[in-house]
Structure 1
Amino acid sequence: MLKTTSLRLALAVAACALVPSLHAAEGGATRADAEAMVKKAVAHIKKEGDAKAYGDFTAKAPQFILHDLYIVVYRLDGTVLAHGSNAKMVGKNLIDLKDIDGKAFVKERVELGKSKGTFWQDYKFTNPENKKIEPKQMYCEKLNDTVVCGGIYL
């Protein structure tokens, strides 16, 4: 009986360890994916220049898309410079955009960019894969007068 209980406990612990990888396998990116993608996007901007890089992000270049993870770049006034999910957003100033709970997340994002440089932000947004409003965490890094971001859905 003791061996059966120990085996069950070991299996339960092993199953819990698999949960993060199962989430990614089901189509959701992880926090590590978001951080790596943003760092890759920042390096791409530095290497290729703003116009080329922003065009790549908005055109959904495969190296900047991973499941539900994509790159968004904002000027510090809230204007979208690149958007890997919705090209119609490029050129729009979204500083007053609020999520379903009334959180002015773009305003908060650019303020965090100005004050912290690198940060995670929580809000709610429409998941491009299932079209549902879901909790989202956005990882961002300030680069010159912009904030480069990539987010995951929870």
Structure 2
Amino acid sequence: MRLLIAGWSGRIALVGAILLMLTGVAGADPGKPTRDEVEALTLKAAALIESQGIEAAREAFNRAGEFRFGEIYVNVIDFTGTWLAYPPRPAGVGQNVVNLKDADGRFMVKDILKVAQESGHGWVSYRWLNPVSNRIEPKTSFVKRVPGKDLVAYIGIYE
């Protein structure tokens, strides 16, 4: 009798796992942050820049850990569109990217600056190279103006 019950409970667990995968719950990437988590991390990055300055913050942003993991990294630009932090390619720091276009020809940096300057914070969508998949993918970034500075921190999540 125990073998029969164990067999059924194993089948029920298997069916349950399949149903979870089909509904997307089990298929979700547990390491991928949510929009709320990206927003909170961006706010924390802007606060770090405000309290410790861009040099100290850039070190934290370039180092693997809280601000850089998987496809997540902190970008920082000034109001002229010059990169002050870009962890996927630190050599890009100092480069002006104000006229940079995404894969669809959108002036994404201008969109980011507009949100930061007009609202102080918000979301901007574009298509960008995912450093993990090495493919152009839809991306939505939370943008936050650093309080009291003409700097913008933003972190994106690939959709």
What TM-score do you get using the length of structure 2 for normalisation?
0.79
CA distance in 2, matches of 1:130, 1:52: 29
Q: What is the total number of aligned residue pairs between the two structures? A: 141
Larger Rg: 2
Give structure 1 stretches of 5+ with no counterpart. Answer: 1-7
Q: How does 1:39-118 map to 2 (within 5 A)?
A: 39-57=43-61, 59-118=62-121
Is the 1:110–1:147 Cα contact (8 Å) retained in structure 2? yes
Is the 2:46–2:145 Cα contact (8 Å) retained in structure 1? no
Distance 1:24 1:37, change over 3 A: farther
Q: Deviations over 1:73-116 (max 9, x none)?
A: 01011000011222122110000100111101011111221111
> Runs of 4 or more off by more than 4 Å in structure 1?
11-15
* Deviation for aligned residue 1:129: 0.3
What TM-score do you get using the length of structure 1 for normalisation?
0.81
Secondary structure (helix, strand or coil) at the match of 2:66 reads helix
Structure 1 vs Structure 2: percent identity of aligned residues? 31
* Deviation for aligned residue 1:29: 2.8
